[in-house]
Amino acid sequence: MSFLAFSQFSPMVKGQIMQFDEIIDRSSTHAYKWEKYKGKDILPMWVADTEFASPLPIQQALKARCDHGLFGYTLPAQYEPANKAVMRWLADKHDWEIEQDWIVWTPGVVPAFNVACKAYCRTGDTVLVQTPNYPPLRAAPAINGLQRVEIDSVEVDGRWTLNFEQLEEAAADPKCKLFIICNPMNPVGSVLSQQELEKVAEICNRNNVKLCSDEIHCDLILDQSKQHIPAGREQSLRDSSITLMAASKTFNIAGLGTSFAIIPNRSLRTKFVSATQGFVPWANVMGLVATEVAFTQCDEWHQNLLDYLRENLAYVEQQVQSIEGLRLLKVDATFLAWIDASGLGVEDPQAYFESKGVGPSPGVDFGDKRFVRINFGCPRSQLIEAFTRLKA
């Protein structure tokens, strides 16, 4: 099916289509995503940044900051507009009124969950990690001298959720101190419901296990009947959780290395901040500028992005269904599709996709070699090209 044929049932306005349809050549920018297959005819659809230009107000603000010409130290806590912007965004988009001093800026979510391991565990403790999961998240316990215990994702009614029985059992081990969760889930795309989050809270609290919730994808809710619930907003988790967020995935500013943890409990916050001392740098000024603008001037762009991604997801679902041997469960959020390729009957799904000219993320890196993860945060024409190649 051609792009035009597909867009005939798209309700999108033309301006929107043009904005996200633009193919932008990143080959001269050393983009991590594009370097991997440099010189090869393989479409990079792996690492989780999108192919979309950041909103114009962000670009303009960064240019204006560059024009100033001085790039000395900026302490994030003193950069009032970025802090206020986070508070505004959380109140408006996530119904969460926070206090400014709950915000701890970090130069990325990856350092933040590693800091959580260091802050709340001692050598030999165990950390629960939902599986499959983002590779650096899976790696965090071992990096910090801790044991990783995996909590499986299970299929229930056509969607992925946690194996709560396993969670119940693993959390009861007195050595278990921390549960790192990814919500919305990367790679499986589910958003925890109120009931599911309450269950997590109940199990964690009963066993004195802290919850570190990586919510970097929380502004990418595609199923409009679903709502993201930040962990720290739950009264029962207020004093036992840290919530990690960033504007980076949504607004394509991950290269600016800026994110934040929301830690309402003072003692947990102090421990977290102490664990950063000496080796975690401050979030940088460009990231603060971009985050401020993302969370104050880009609401319409954000809505347009979600509409575009919803259409991309519909296309991916339709295409996956039409290829024998591939299977995709319900994706509530993210721009990532966790595709079960076991039905293809090939030994190495990643190699098979690459042989067809498409470069997903290998499922084995997330904990399941039968799968691949496709990043559909790209112009529709690229998506169509990818599936055309897969079907050839």
Ligand X SMILES: Cc1ncc(COP(=O)(O)O)c(C=O)c1O
- List of residues contacting ligand X (CB under 6 A): 48, 108-110, 134, 182, 186, 214, 216, 246, 248, 254, 259
Contacts with 68 (C-beta within 8 Å, 6 or more apart), sequence order: none
The answer to whether 230 and 218 have CB atoms below 8 angstroms apart is yes
CA distances from 350 to 123, 246, 262 (A): 36, 29, 37
The answer to whether 167 and 151 have CB atoms below 8 angstroms apart is yes
CB of 283 to ligand X, least distance (A): 10
**Distance from C-alpha of 258 to C-alpha of 244, rounded to nearest angstrom:** 11
CB of 166 to ligand X, least distance (A): 20
Write the DSSP symbol of residue 362. E
109 or 333, CB closer to ligand X? 109
The answer to whether 90 and 294 have CB atoms below 8 angstroms apart is no
Write the DSSP symbol of residue 337. E
The answer to whether 236 and 201 have CB atoms below 8 angstroms apart is yes
CB of 61 to ligand X, least distance (A): 20
CB of 59 to ligand X, least distance (A): 20
| Phi, psi angle pair for 111, to nearest 5° | -60, -35
| Phi, psi angle pair for 89, to nearest 5° | -65, -45
17 or 253, CB closer to ligand X? 253
**Distance from C-alpha of 374 to C-alpha of 370, rounded to nearest angstrom:** 13
CA distances from 381 to 18, 36, 52, 167 (A): 11, 21, 13, 42
17 or 181, CB closer to ligand X? 181
CB of 139 to ligand X, least distance (A): 12
21 or 217, CB closer to ligand X? 217
Based on its alpha-carbon atoms, the radius of gyration of the chain, rounded to whole angstroms, reads 21
138 or 271, CB closer to ligand X? 138
Question: What is the per-residue DSSP string for 322-357?
Answer: HSTT-EE----BSSEEEEE-GGG--S-HHHHHHHTT
CB of 134 to ligand X, least distance (A): 4
134 or 160, CB closer to ligand X? 134
**Distance from C-alpha of 217 to C-alpha of 306, rounded to nearest angstrom:** 12
98 or 220, CB closer to ligand X? 220
CB of 254 to ligand X, least distance (A): 5
108 or 362, CB closer to ligand X? 108
Contacts with 140 (C-beta within 8 Å, 6 or more apart), sequence order: 113, 114, 117, 127, 129, 180
CB of 345 to ligand X, least distance (A): 30
